[in-house]
Structure 1
Amino acid sequence: MSHLRIAVLDSGINPSHPHVGGLTNGVCLTGDGISEDTIDRLGHGTAVAALIHALAPGAAIVPVRIFDRTLSTNLSTLLRALQWCVANGIHVINLSLGTTNESYRDAFAEVVARVADAGAVLVAPYAMGEKLLLPGTLSGVVGVVADSTCNDAACTVKPMTFKKAFGAPPYPRDIPGVPRALNLNGVSFSVARVSAYIARAWSSRKEGEPWERFLEARLDQEPIEVLLRQ
């Protein structure tokens, strides 16, 4: 798995954080254009990257900064970031965000097809609470929901409205001495856990096999908690 590349589309990553490892050069895509400034000034992307590194330490993590001063972006920036991933050899795209704007469906569907053609996989929230999200509800995207009933390393298959999604705990890497209630939480970290699972299972999938079908079958055979504790 040492050559597997996971892009974290988020607020950047703090490379000096003690829980972060396996970082490679990334890119910043914001309203100001493109740069190499991937430093995290909000903390969210660093927490996502730290969790992925803890669960899939052999993977290379590529910061793709799409947030500037707030945890929000626009369609143009997000599409550019996904296209950058396709052009730069990314295997797993960890996207911890989504939108309810149905007018974006066609644009997302087009870029999701490009991701699949490149042999990569996009992991994104299927829903946040009761709100269904794009692109996570699209066919070909591994959609994720928060499932706080799971054990820390567990993952579940969840039959949903449009397709099956995958549930995982909504918690980041624990900070010793800090109660979870005082730390970040949310579906972002469920997505990160599923991205890490995919990285660990990457070599087991047959070429061309739909990711959702592969994950469902693999979880039936080998629960995620077994795989992640090897």
Structure 2
Amino acid sequence: MGDAKWIWALRDGLTMSKRSLMHIFRDVESLLMAIALPVSIMLLFVYVFGGAIQTGTDYVNYVVPGVIITCAGFGSSLISVSVTKDMSGGLFERFRSMPLQPSSLLVGHVVGGYLRNMIATLAVFIVALLIGFRPEAGLLEWLGVIGILTLYMISINWLFVVLGLLTKNVETAGAFTFPMLFLPYLSSAFVPTNTMPVWLDAFSKHQPMTPLIEALRGLLIGTPIDYNLWLTILWFSGLLVLSYIAATLLFRRRKNE
């Protein structure tokens, strides 16, 4: 009986993931925006601000990890709007009458968001290589980069699912994502934290984006990683577990309303 339940859940999750994947390639404008925005940010910082910022390395090498995280955050924020649309529209009403596993609709959004983010991330890497980005990572380091990015993307995808479940309209859902999207700008993504005011430097060093970016930077270009890798795993593993539990409980509550 237990095995049948897991098979049922997996089947429903795959079905909803296919649905989300189809939406990604049908909604070409959103996909292009998810790619164009981070690429534009990277070009802006490299060519407009890069000459005035001293980082001890070529600025393009310094800024790419932060751009990737910003890119993933923007792509994931679209999930909140999609979840809110599903929950407040006729689609959810149809699902309520079906023997649907509570998390399968949410899993579809998370998987779809992850694939959209990976496409956008690949585009950022390609453009970065064209403008001078030169990573020093070997095979193990690249595997580490993929692993960290996957953990980050999946965890914030579930967080944005929670935000989508908490809101009743798409405007509010979009507004709720802003604080998470703003965090990379208050980290070491674009400038070293020691150039910030003391109070902001302290905040930057103790929020989750800075260890994440420093871990990625260390894996990609060989800067010291120190304890940043373990902090990243702790931060985003905890976020993943809490967000998944919250999303499942909220979905069940909405399903029973």
TM class by shorter chain equals under 0.3
Structure number having the greater helix percentage: 2
* Higher relative contact order, chain-length normalized (CA < 8 Å, sep 6+): 2
Q: Which has the higher strand share?
A: 1
